[in-house]
Structure 1
């Protein structure tokens, strides 16, 4: 039997449910421009369909594989024929190319409101003693540099100071005890989370959410399963796809800057808003910190705390 996943909420989910149904009015993205990276397949494809159901002004799909990207777009257009759906083939590590894509989207639609960063890569799953130093940073390049390129590009593309909701898909592995062979992957994902936290602090109009999407039957998990056996059951793709629409909504604004799991019950999260938000910045719950570490020197709050 699969091991249970630690949870912040008493109620957990493995598939979508009524409170995160993207077609309900309170989760509407009407008038908003949504960009999804990694839309070629896996969670990016499921997320594209869920955001389409929320009725955005336009849905822009980014990916490196044009055939797979077009498959996603065709699937969305088939279900939502009146929705503007565009695809852009781009490598997130290509800074000039990526900025050109975002600048053109922002110019055509007047700006970008929501970016869902689904793109990811699995670094070689080997013990660190056996890791190839010459290629070790390859995974970091996509996960860290690609993430920095993306958040820079979307922020610079908007010529006004509108709020940008940036949703970053991360992994619970940065919080769990280490799995053998996963050091390269989880350390790069942790680096991306800390990088985005700093970026959001420097740019307060960037509303940041870090989300662990769950354990999903994707090409990445298939690749991982060839090396290690994870003690968790797969979640249905509908869970993270719809949850990401919910977390982009005004209902979830109180979770900005936090790290949450898609499996956690949103009604319970909303009922615990006060304890999650806390008081001064760096307080409350669901943020990466050091329990017991002093946040003040005398009566002065530490910078960035």
Structure 2
């Protein structure tokens, strides 16, 4: 099957591990040139080595970047334009759980730190790289939202709000730039095997004095009872959907949100 993205240039943030790295691997397999971006260059070097194990002839570049710094984001866009000719695909995978806990215990600083990463990171990237997509008159932007946007969990109010905002932002941009042949979509995973959920399960295991596997089983039963497949998802399962949305096969998909959640959202219309 031809995805139509051979020789397209894809920038993936949050690409040192998890969904971001797996998406980079899938896109590289389809012949795309890959720009891996995350905060630490050493982590990106390790991610590149991992990617090249599956696509040894892939063209892979590294872009260390702190998305909380708008000046650095703009500089990164200029660098990509100058050195690689610009991008065709932007996948916003960077994010963090951020501050969590009882709503009344979360300060403005807690909220702003989460918003700065989970919402404004995507805003800054879209603003900085949109001119490159507009110039090419072809583009795909996929941003990671979450089941939390539809089914919020009380201890994660900043994260919930940011992911709902991401879906709204995506819809707004899809309406604004579809005339320029740019397509914007979201993917909403739930309980995927990533470093973020690994840390959550390790914390729960320590709290309950159990193994991590037992913590996962407990969490599935008590906190995610609607995951019909009764397991955590894998980064590859999410990356498969992202890859589709980055391709020519998704040419009539715009402003949409795809839930990759094993049935985690209880409502049929979320």
Q: What TM-score results when the alignment is normalised by the length of structure 1? A: 0.72
Residue of 131, 137, 152 corresponding to 1:162: 137
Equivalences, count = 241
Give the 3-state SS of the residue equivalent to 1:121 in structure 2.
Answer: coil
Query: Map of 1:80-119 to 2, 5 A cutoff?
Result: 80-119=55-94
**C-alpha distance in structure 1 between counterparts of 2:136 and 2:3, whole Å:** 23
**C-alpha distance in structure 2 between counterparts of 1:162 and 1:71, whole Å:** 34
Query: Map of 1:67-78 to 2, 5 A cutoff?
Result: 67-78=42-53
Query: Map of 1:132-211 to 2, 5 A cutoff?
Result: 132-158=107-133, 160-176=135-151, 178-204=152-178, 205=180, 206-211=182-187
Mind listing any 5+ residue stretches in structure 1 that lack a counterpart? 1-24, 265-284, 289-305
Deviations 1:3-39 (A, max 9, x none): xxxxxxxxxxxxxxxxxxxxxx322421211110000
Give the 3-state SS of the residue equivalent to 2:140 in structure 1.
Answer: strand
Whether the 8 Å CA contact 1:103–1:157 is kept in 2: the answer is no
Query: Map of 1:1-305 to 2, 5 A cutoff?
Result: 25-56=1-32, 58-158=33-133, 160-176=135-151, 178-204=152-178, 205=180, 206-225=182-201, 226=203, 229=219, 230-231=223-224, 232=227, 233-262=231-260
Distance 1:115 1:157, change over 3 A: same
Give the 3-state SS of the residue equivalent to 1:112 in structure 2.
Answer: coil
Distance 1:134 1:235, change over 3 A: closer
Q: Which portions of structure 1, spanning 4 or more consecutive aligned residues, are displaced by more than 6 angstroms?
A: none
Which one has the bigger helix percentage? 2
Whether the 8 Å CA contact 2:170–2:255 is kept in 1: the answer is no
Whether the 8 Å CA contact 1:38–1:119 is kept in 2: the answer is yes
Mind listing any 5+ residue stretches in structure 2 that lack a counterpart? 205-217, 263-267
| Comparing 107-116 and 136-145, the one that deviates more | 107-116
Once the 2 structures are TM-superposed, how far is the Cα of residue 214 of structure 1 from its aligned partner? 3.7
